[in-house]
Amino acid sequence: MPKPNQDDSLQDEFLTDILDTPPAETEPELEPSPEAITALPSTPTKATVPDVHERGPFGRLMETNFLQFASYSICDRALPTVEDGLKPVQRRILHAMWEKDDGRFSKVAGVVGNTMHYHPHGDAAIKDAIVTLANKRYLIQGQGNFGNIFTGDEAAAARYIECRLTKLAREQLFSPKVTSYVPSYDGRNKEPVLLPAKIPLSLMLGVDGIAVGLSTSILPHNFPELLEAEIAILQKKPCPTLLPDFITGGVMDASEYNDGNGSVRVRAKIEHRENEKNKLFITSVPYGITTDRLAESIEKAIKTKKLPIRHIDNFTAEKVEIELSLAPGSDLEKVRKALYAFTECERKISSRIVVLKENRPVELSVSEMLADHARRLQEIFAAEFRVRLAEIDQLMMRKTLEAIFIENRIYKRIETVKTAEAVSMEIRLGFTPFLDIIGHDITDDEIEMLLKIPIRRISLYDINRHNEEMEALRQEHAQINDDLQHLARYAVKFLKGLQKEYSKLYPRLTEVADGFQEIDERALTSTELTLRLSEDRYIGYDIKQGTPLFPCSSLDKIYLVWSDGRYRFIPPPDKLLADAEYEPDKEWLNALRTRQPVRYFAAGIYNRDEVFTCVYYEPLYGFTYIKRFTWGGMIMNKDYSLVPEGATILLLYRGTPETIYVKFKFLKYQRFSQLAFDPQKVRITSASSKGIQMTSKQIERIDTKRPTWWTASETASESSPEGMLFQ
């Protein structure tokens, strides 16, 4: 039996943490007594899922590997951290660029190579992440062809394009003195655990990620607006409402967006220019939609007769410019609404913020993320202040030692000394009267520092300059101590400086609307299509010549019924063969079934609750049946049967006729040659149900209106004034 290993215990701890459920306590197994065995029920017990420790080696291996993969994909690939707002690959790219940064552009291929020292995945993923960051403007500045976010064109190869850190990234993301480092995946280098980011990166950039059982969708927000909101949080004021801002612009309805949760609807900007008659111009696209994809959706809508557009010209380069030439006499406002209703000119984008906090996935809101960043920002400043205070203390001590050493001519004491030990002794003796000033015995390192002072520096020593430098250090020390006691105030001052510097560089691109007017799609397309039946028995809206059947919308569902009772629900077809030969699949019905091609019988717009009346003939027993029904639910493009197999539909009527007139085939000694039936006596059932018997006679003619062949005198018989229905 395999021994439990360390992986099993780690697995139990992981499951306990995730599910917040204590592990089940195991009790020692006891042998049952003979009395208990005889008392056991005869029915078998229900099988239970074995415990983790009771499973075989393969089961334990699969569970362990799955949990390891799940935690790896969540923590090391898909989700950003709330502390610095970056995914691991983004953090490694920025760190690699900062290490080699000299202010000039570097080949992206070189940056990819440097990043691979830290990132365990391939070069293609790193290059794609660099291009994505460059297209988001804030952190990486690109030079060359980095693709086009509007058209969807891909970037050039990594060897042809260059990049460098922006001023914002260089100044606000790195502080090695307060950064913790860990060994890289191969142990040859050290990479930062987190970057001390002083700006809320995940909310600025926007993040999408999919992991095992988790996904995140953080929409990008406007940088100056984020700074303003964080200032309000630091000043303990209510956080203002923050709305997404997309780099592709557009118009946004955020009525369903609540502090990072919910969704927004984004529309393209569609303009009409006075000097361009009968034309519309699209000047922005919804976030995540390219102009090529948008043009394809417009062409599809044109093909299905939803848009009266004759020509599309795509002039997009640095800005979106799609020119739409409309058909003469088109209503511009109606076409604009149809573009929003039937194309990618409008898109709904969902938002759900899932991030890593202390290396565990949590779901947060925008205000919670900003509050967390405000706290983190103060911690970064506090750490930097403490480091700087230690540096100032060290610098002031060094300058004090130098002043005592030079002003009191202690260096003269070592001119006649010949050994290193004697030199150290003379310097210690020279500093003995000044121990109260320096506060400690002079160390060997300090002696070594004093001995390295150049003679030129000693001869040119200026006591006044020394006093000025010491005073400046004291003032800086006092100011840092004051800022350390008022971190929120300092953070507000810092953020206001960023706001002043960058507010003009990053204006809001997406226009916020009070709310989009709901578009009645069916009203736009209620009669846009006309189905016709051609002479060669094709049905569709692309048929130019033929018998018009009825107008419909491209949003309607159409029912088609054939004479053998088969029916189907389909979208309005462009051109569909309505008639087809029907080959029976049961040999014993061949003799009873009429050898006729199955013909198109009826078509119309689907309405699940609309009542129909159907009369059909079943040759198996020679009876004719009637039923009233509604379509009910349906599945598109699936064949259904309205009548039993082998039967033939004689009448299909929308609604319930007042009377059904029937003329029978002539038979000698036949009492009645025609009858009138009242279909309102038939109860309404489902479409698949069997009808009730109407007559056993062979029907020659049937109609719902009094036809010319009807003879009134025959119906007036006293024995049978109307046809009898066998309920």
Q: ∠ CA 434-435-441 to the nearest 5 degrees?
A: 135
Pair of tokens at residue 594? 């009429």
* Collapsed DSSP state (helix, strand, coil) of residue 162: strand
> Around Cβ 334, how many Cβ atoms within 10 Å?
13
Q: Which residue has the tokens 């655990």?
A: 193
Which is it for the CA torsion 407, 410, 411, 413, positive or negative? positive
- Given the residues 72, 118, 160, 490, select the one marked as catalytic: 160
Whether 605 and 552 have beta carbons less than 8 Å apart is answered as yes
Query: How far are the Cα atoms of 85, 168, 205, 526 from residue 197, in angstroms, in the given order?
Result: 8, 11, 13, 55
Token pair of 722, please? 């109307």
For residue 181, indicate whether it is catalytic: no
Which H or E run includes 89? helix 88-99
572 token code pair:
């309005």
Cα end-to-end distance, the chain, whole Å: 73
Q: How far apart are CA 173 and CA 188, in angstroms?
A: 24
Contact 202, 79 (CB under 8 A): no
Number of H helices, E strands in the chain: 20, 34
Residue type at position 684: I
**Beta-bridge partner residues of 362:** 355
Structure token pair of residue 381: 């400043």
| Cα distance between residue 457 and residue 446, in whole Å | 17
Parallel/antiparallel/unpaired status of strands 538-540 and 261-267: unpaired
- Residues 170, 171, 173: CA angle, nearest 5 degrees: 75
The string of DSSP codes covering 228-239 is HHHHHHHTT-PP
Structure tokens at 698: 């062979």
Rounded to the nearest angstrom, the gap between the alpha carbon of residue 65 and the centroid of all alpha carbons in its chain is 28
User: At what angle are helices 332-342 and 291-303 packed, to 10 degrees?
Assistant: 110
Instruction: Enumerate the active-site residues.
Output: 160
